[in-house]
């Protein structure tokens, strides 16, 4: 994966809430995924995940690459073409958790710089605000935290405020994500489903 997969399929949205709230949710979502990465046992990296054809290592690799793109797009104002194939191939090496931690810290720092969320970013879906990009990345981390939790048999109960924010983010373009490598066709949620269940069902998961 060379860039944020959801950006390839959905429009750039502006995100919801003020910048402090966007950054808070993003930081919590990144920390949530990181907590699951650090629970992966040595014998689980090749295990399957709810993401079609992705192993645990593939999933962690995908999210790690997503974070590697953030400083280039947000801090440097680079285009997709300028970054090119810099992050193609394996980025985890012999220390997947360490690779994730380093990439995550750099991504959070880039989004958190003064004025960063007001900047224009160049995504494969077009140009938009870094605030919208940050909200997309939050949604991505929340959903994939559940994927990783299920894959490694960790706690699948995620914070409801993060689930609600991710649901609000993805609803406008969920139809465009169906059928991708990560997001299958939606399934009908049970009556009275909470936001996490609705989010997962909307993106083709079966909680």
Model confidence pLDDT, tens digit, residues 41-84? 999 999 999 988 899 999 999 999 999 999 999 999 999 999 99
Please answer whether residues 79 and 122 qualify as being in contact, where contact means their C-beta atoms are separated by less than 8 angstroms: yes
Q: Does the pLDDT of residue 3 top 60, yes or no? A: no
Q: At what angle do helices 130-152 and 96-112 cross, to 10 degrees?
A: 160
Please answer whether residues 154 and 43 qualify as being in contact, where contact means their C-beta atoms are separated by less than 8 angstroms: no
Coil, strand or helix at 202:
helix
- The pLDDT value recorded for residue 55 is 98
Pairwise CA distance, residues 124 & 81, whole Å: 9
Our separate counts of H helices and E strands in the chain read 9, 2
Q: Does the pLDDT of residue 11 top 70, yes or no? A: no
Please answer whether residues 56 and 189 qualify as being in contact, where contact means their C-beta atoms are separated by less than 8 angstroms: no
Pairwise CA distance, residues 105 & 127, whole Å: 24
Report pTM.
0.89
Average pLDDT over residues 106-126: 95
Pairwise CA distance, residues 7 & 126, whole Å: 9
Please answer whether residues 119 and 125 qualify as being in contact, where contact means their C-beta atoms are separated by less than 8 angstroms: no
Q: At what angle do helices 160-170 and 130-152 cross, to 10 degrees?
A: 120
As a residue count, the chain comes to 207
- β-strand partners of 120: 129
Average pLDDT over residues 91-104: 98
């Amino acid at each position: 994966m060379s860039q944020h997969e959801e950006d390839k399929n959905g429009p750039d949205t502006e995100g919801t809430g003020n910048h402090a709230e966007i950054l808070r949710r993003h930081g919590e979502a990144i920390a949530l995924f990181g907590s699951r990465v650090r629970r992966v046992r040595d014998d689980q990296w090749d295990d399957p995940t709810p993401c079609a054809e992705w192993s645990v290592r593939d999933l962690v690799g995908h999210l790690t690459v997503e974070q590697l793109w953030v400083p280039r797009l947000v801090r440097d104002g680079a285009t997709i073409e300028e970054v090119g194939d810099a992050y193609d191939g394996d980025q985890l090496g012999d220390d997947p958790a360490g690779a994730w931690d380093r990439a995550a810290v750099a991504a959070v720092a880039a989004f958190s710089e003064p004025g960063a969320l007001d900047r224009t970013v160049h995504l494969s879906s077009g140009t938009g605000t870094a605030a919208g990009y940050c909200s997309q990345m939050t949604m991505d981390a929340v959903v994939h935290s559940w994927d990783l939790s299920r894959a490694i048999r960790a706690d699948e109960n995620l914070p409801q405020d993060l689930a609600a924010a991710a649901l609000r983010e993805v609803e406008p373009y969920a139809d465009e994500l169906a059928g991708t490598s990560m997001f299958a066709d939606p399934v009908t949620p049970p009556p009275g489903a909470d936001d996490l269940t609705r989010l997962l069902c909307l993106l083709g998961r079966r909680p």
